[in-house]
Amino acid sequence: MEATQDTQGRVEAAQSVPGHGGPRSAGTRRAILDAARSAFAAQGYDRATIRSIAATAGVDASMVMRYFESKAGLFAAVATADVPVLDLAAVPPDRRGEALVRHLIERWEAPASGDELMLLLRTAVTSGEVATQLQAVLAKLIVGPIAATGAADADVRGALVQSQLLGVALCRYVLRQEPLASLPIEHVVASIAPSVQRYLDTP
């Protein structure tokens, strides 16, 4: 019996987007998306709940279902991970290791893309489907640029670089293991870069 006066932010409701069930209100949609990204990043897919995401977004849980079809649909909508790609060929060959490390760390430190990488990694370890999705992102982010430099065995080199870069991300950002988690960025870059450089160079 209570009049809900939220009459604000409904101005932008005019757009209708392609395909199947489009967004209803851009503001609400974005609020849900933001809450979901944080929740999935912080807790992983299983422990994050639709109800708590909805509460954070300030809407009812059923709204989440109307906007995105299911919990899986919400995750898919938030797990796009369209991170900027590094043009490795434009970097001097002896600096490519450092460039890769720095680029990856910057992706993880940036709040938005860091959350997307976090939720992807946190969920990939228990979901084969998401693991495939993560591999696709890493292929675009790491193997692609390496292959674009014309290196031989780009797939194996990429896999080795991935293992080191994902390892750093896992220890530093997901597990938050000391002392790695508190090491200054430049220290990390200086320590790791030579290894990555070696994976790029050795035949």
Partner DNA sequence: AGGTAATGTCAACGCGCGTTGGCTAACGGA
Partner DNA sequence: TCCGTTAGCCAACGCGCGTTGACATTACCT
DSSP three-state, residue 123? helix
Would you say 62 or 182 has its CB closer to a copy of itself? 182
14 interacts with DNA by CB under 7 A: yes
Number of residues binding to a copy of itself, judged by CB under 8 A: 42
Provide the minimum distance between the beta carbon of 36 and DNA in the complex, in angstroms, as a whole number: 11
Reported for 26-32, long-range contacts at CB under 8 A and 24+ positions apart, including other chains, are: 28/57, 28/59, 28/63, 28/67, 29/67, 31/57, 31/58, 31/59, 32/57, 32/59, 32/63, 32/64, 32/67, 32/68, 32/74
Distance of alpha carbon 113 from alpha carbon 148, whole angstroms: 23
Q: Among 93, 135, 186, 201, which residue sits at the site for a copy of itself (rule: CB under 8 A)?
A: 135
Of 46 and 87, the one with the shorter C-beta distance to a copy of itself is 46
Dist. CA 22–CA 15, nearest whole Å: 9
2: DSSP letter: -
Reading phi first (left if > 0) and then psi (alpha if -120 to 50, else beta), residue 48 is in beta
170 binds, among DNA, a copy of itself, none (CB under 5 to 8 A by kind): a copy of itself
- 27-66 mask for DNA (x: CB under 7 A)? xx-------------------xxxxx------xxxxxxxx
Instruction: Fill in the per-residue mask, 93 to 122: x = in contact with a copy of itself (CB under 8 A), - = not in contact.
Output: ----------------------------xx
Which of 44, 97, 114, 145 touches a copy of itself (CB under 8 A)?
44
Distance CA 56, CA 161 (A): 37
Q: Using CB under 7 A, list all residues that contact DNA.
A: 1-7, 10-11, 13-15, 23-25, 27-28, 48-52, 59-66, 69-72
